[in-house]
Structure formats: structure tokens, C-alpha cells
Amino acid sequence: MAEQIAGRSQELIDEPNFAFVATLRKDGTPLVNPIWIDRDGDTILVNSSRGRAWPANLERDGRVTLTVPNRENQYEYVAIRGHLAGVTEEGADAHIDSLAKKYLGQDTYPFRQPGEERILIRIEPDEVKLFGS
């Protein structure tokens, strides 16, 4: 069963705060990328496109840590340790549009590249810890 995302942890994810996603390179060293983040209940939803390094890392080794700091207070953050639960192209375009709405206030994601294949990535949390609240 997935760990629950509740209370202030939920708020930090629902507000337009960036997540710092840490994945593992082939050689085992950590890669960290700031990304947009969303959730469906207790499942984390993120979005990328085929060929990017961090989702490729995640498909090779599904272990992942997401850190979501409050953009208005660097001392408050939620740390989520989890694992990859699924990658799909289905719904990925609609999902990046919903993230554009959340983070940019725009109905349509404005940075689409020609030929780009968006992917929707589901992550199940194994541990959710809140700090500095």
C-alpha cells in the first residue's frame, strides 16, 4: 500500500512548488532535476518526454526521491522516497496542459517541441516526511 500524502505535505504538492527529483545514473551517481509535480490521491504524477535522462534513469532503476520545498520558505519541505509505478503516453498531453495551468496559469503547455512524445509517470511513495513546518 502506498504511503499517504496528507495535511501540509499535500498542500506543498498542490501549490505550484517545484519538485527536485533524484534518480540514479547508470553508474549509480545521483542526478537531480527540478520538475513540475502533481498527484492523484496518494500517487505522484510527473511528466516528461521520451529521451530525457531522468525518466530514462527511472525506467532503468525505479528508486526515486522527490523533495518539494515551499517556494516561499526554503526551510519547509516534504521529502518523498518512492518507486516507479508506471510510464504511459496515454493522457500525457492532457496532463502537461494541466501542469501548465498549475505552474504558468496557461491552458496549454507552451513549450511543446515538434516530434516530442510526452510521457506521464506515476510514482508510489514509500515514505513521506515533512520538515520545517
Contact status: 28 vs a copy of itself (CB under 8 A): yes
Phi, psi of 11 (to 5 degrees): -60, -40
Contact status: 86 vs a copy of itself (CB under 8 A): no
Contact status: 81 vs a copy of itself (CB under 8 A): yes
Secondary structure (3-state) at 104: helix
Report yes or no: 70 and 13 within 8 Å, Cβ to Cβ: no
In the list 38, 55, 77, 118, the residue contacting a copy of itself (rule: CB under 8 A) is 77
With contacts defined by CB under 8 A, name the span among 1-9, 12-20, 87-95, 114-122 that binds a copy of itself: 12-20
Residue 103 Cβ vs a copy of itself, minimum distance, rounded to whole Å: 9
With contacts defined by CB under 8 A, name the span among 4-12, 40-48, 77-85, 116-124 that binds a copy of itself: 77-85
With contacts defined by CB under 8 A, name the span among 21-29, 46-54, 92-100, 109-117 that binds a copy of itself: 21-29
Place of cell 517545484: 18
Task: Using CB under 8 A, list all residues that contact a copy of itself.
Answer: 17-18, 20, 22-24, 28-34, 63-65, 67, 69, 71, 74-75, 77, 79, 81
